Amino acid sequence: MAVTATSPVARPSTAASRTGVAAVTAALVLLVLALGIADITQGTAAVGPAEVLKALTGRADQSDASVVIASRLPRMTAGILVGVVLGVAGAVLQTVSRNVLASPDTLAVNAGSYLALGLAGATGVSLPLLASSSVAFAGGLLAAAVVLVLSGLGTGTVRLVLAGTALALGLNSLTEGLLLLFPEQTEGLYQWNQGSISQNGFDGVLQLLPVAVAGLAGLLLTARRIDALALGDDAARGLGVPVRATRVTVVVLAALLSATAVTLAGPIGFVGLCAPALVRPLARRFRGFARSRTALPVAGLAGAGLVLGSDVLLRALVPADRAVAVPTGVVTSLVGAVFLVVTALRLRDTSGAEAPDRLRIPSRTVFLATTAVLVAVVVGVTLGGVLLGDSKLLLGDVANWTQGRAGRAVSFVLETRVPRVFAALCAGAALALAGTLVQAVTRNPLADPGVLGVSGGAALGAVLLVTTVPVAGTWSVAGAAFAGAALASVLVFGLAARGGYQQNRLVLVGIGVAAGTAALISLLIVLTDPFNATKALTWLSGSTYGRTMPDVVPVALVLVAGLAVAVARRTELDLVSLDGDTPRLLGLRLSRARLGFLVVSVLLSATAVASAGTIAFVGLVAPHAARALVGRRHVRVVPVAVLLGAALVCTADLLGRTVIAPAQLGAGLMTATIGTPYFLYLLVRSRR
């Protein structure tokens, strides 16, 4: 009797689930079709729905038919294909890693593919489409493997994003260096990296379609094993599933799908992150979506809807003649940045906000000796920066120049070189001091103006002014950079303050804001000056090229003021960096102290960006190295960190100007190359 009583209940539930799955799938299919039809009707040519219908039925004139068949249909088809493969890739990566933040973006797959294609382009070898896809696949797979290993096979939700973001920043810096060194061989690669589904005919879609189908088929064939992995490694082993082999197979197939999308349309950001998130609530309502065989196609449909919806929205909001130049990936990156911030606020952060290092107090002799050595290093790299470059000078030349007795050639070299050296010194010192203040206030060893999006906000403000008002002066650029940095810091610190500046949440919110500012900067560059990518890359790579002494004045003044505040309030800085209770017990108004130090750090970051562009990881590396050398008392940390930051950026600028002279690389590219391994080392050490 018990069996006959429960059977009628179970069957309607299963039937209802199947009906719901079918209804949702049908609705998504209709949505994708509607967006596809809308996408076909948008463009610069006056070809509306009626002309499209005539072209599809063979009754349109030749001009309308060529527009629809050669441009708009391939664009719509590419959008669907890219959205499907990215949605599926993100869904399987999240399932096998049991990590809601896993995606081709957060695993640095796109950055690895970008670097691989940049290396191929720099060699001057012209590759066919399928060969390019193979190169992108190899680079993306290698990057994903590194991130998964560093993050503990993806089981640390936020750690995976941190490792992927840091690695992507380093890989992108290397690629941007290649673009600046080989502009002719890599022409168009920067615009391609923004992600656009625009196509010239069906050739690309038809060549890559079999690769995408093979990857999708492989994932569907392993769907049952993927479901078993979602239960946990032990449960999967109990069911006879080879855990390691299955995980490797799935990651390889996901990288293959991502490489297909990257080859066809460039990196379309965050689709693989957002599409599975849209499907995930459905699994709680309809049991059919809990199985990968059903969930993966629906995630693909959601991805197609995101890509086409972003393209339709872009062309609806931006005039048609300008929308052509705006990459679809910019819109999806903005959506993904918002999604990342919202996810960060909802995630449980169990890391707390602990002091970054163990308490150690080296002797005064160690501090004085360290300071003396660093002063000598700063003096040495300053002299090297002044004397070395595409033309080498002597100390006598500098002495004659200071006395006004140098020749015209020597004067020209020094008048352009000396401001660059001072800009690098002041920017490095300012970023190091800003990082010291931020890490003390947040008690977060991973905090850094660049990682937290503050430098990105400053760059956005400066680029906005420079692109709209080309004749803007030095102080105007500095003011715009401060406004952007202030807005970004209000977003980051305001949202993260609710959890007490917990480590992972703060950094994750900052990464989301940084991604959003990067997308907006790309949008500004494309809309205002789409054919001058080299100029934008020079600014964003942290170059001191073309700096004059007036450009150095704002950052120098703010640096002096910041040092005065840090030294005068060194005891408050020590208390704030300890914990949240001790300062209150001693009568310190914690909120006001935090706000004051954060305002100073924002000013320092903004003026540094206005003076020398975006320079990554200096605010992370210098405070860490200073604490390792002289302990945690800020009366010692501040001067050592400032000297380290100045020496690091000045050395990076010197190497960028001399190693490949007469060509040059920005100091920001050099510091990112140095800082990325250090950031990853900190992640591994914190895991232990």
Residue range 193-238, pLDDT digits in tens: 777 888 888 888 888 899 899 999 999 999 888 888 888 778 888 8
Instruction: Using a pLDDT cut of 70, give the percent of the chain over it.
Output: 83
Least confident of 23-27, 497-501, 580-584: 497-501
- Position 512 pLDDT exceeds 80: yes
**Picking from 308-317, 340-349, 410-419, 505-514, which range would have the lowest pLDDT averaged per residue?**
340-349
Mean pLDDT of 23-39: 89
End-to-end Cα, the chain, rounded Å: 57
SS3 category, 155: coil
Q: How confident is the model at residue 45 (pLDDT cuts 50, 70, 90)?
A: low
Query: What pLDDT is stored for residue 426 in this prediction?
Result: 94
The answer to which of 154-168, 291-305, 600-614 has the lowest mean pLDDT is 154-168
Fold of the CATH domain 78-320: ABC transporter involved in vitamin B12 uptake, BtuC (1.10.3470)
Weakest mean pLDDT among 42-46, 321-325, 491-495:
42-46
Which residue in 183, 172, 188 sits closest to 139, CA to CA? 172
Q: Pick the range with the lowest mean pLDDT from 51-60, 252-261, 659-668.
A: 51-60
Residue 157 in this model has a pLDDT that exceeds 60: no
Is the full-model pTM beyond 0.85?
no
**What are the DSSP calls for 577-603, one per residue?**
TT-SSHHHHTT--HHHHHHHHHHHHHH
CA pair distance 197, 199, nearest whole angstrom: 6
Residue pair 451/636 in contact (Cβ under 8 Å)? The answer is no
More confident residue, 647 or 579: 647
Lowest mean pLDDT: which of 341-350, 497-506, 570-579, 638-647?
A: 497-506
The CATH fold assigned to 364-687 is ABC transporter involved in vitamin B12 uptake, BtuC (1.10.3470)
pLDDT at 68: 64
Other CB atoms within a 10 A radius of the CB of residue 676 amount to 22
* Region for residue 126 given its phi and psi (left: phi exceeds 0; alpha: psi -120 to 50; beta: otherwise): beta
Residue 380: per-residue pLDDT: 94
Domain boundaries of the chain, sorted by first residue: 78-320, 364-687
pLDDT, the chain, mean: 80
Is pLDDT above 70 for 395? Answer: yes
Average pLDDT over every residue of 297-321? 86
Residue 111 pLDDT exceeds 70: yes
For residue 69 the two structure tokens come to 């068949």
Whether 587 shows a pLDDT value over 80: the answer reads no
Listed in sequence order, the residues at least 6 apart from 537 whose beta carbon sits closer than 8 Å to its beta carbon are 176, 179, 180, 190
Beta strands in 197-237 (DSSP E): none
Whether 364-687 and 78-320 are alike in CATH topology: the answer is yes
DSSP state letter for 460 = H
In terms of DSSP H, where are the helices of 497-548?
Answer: 503-528, 533-540
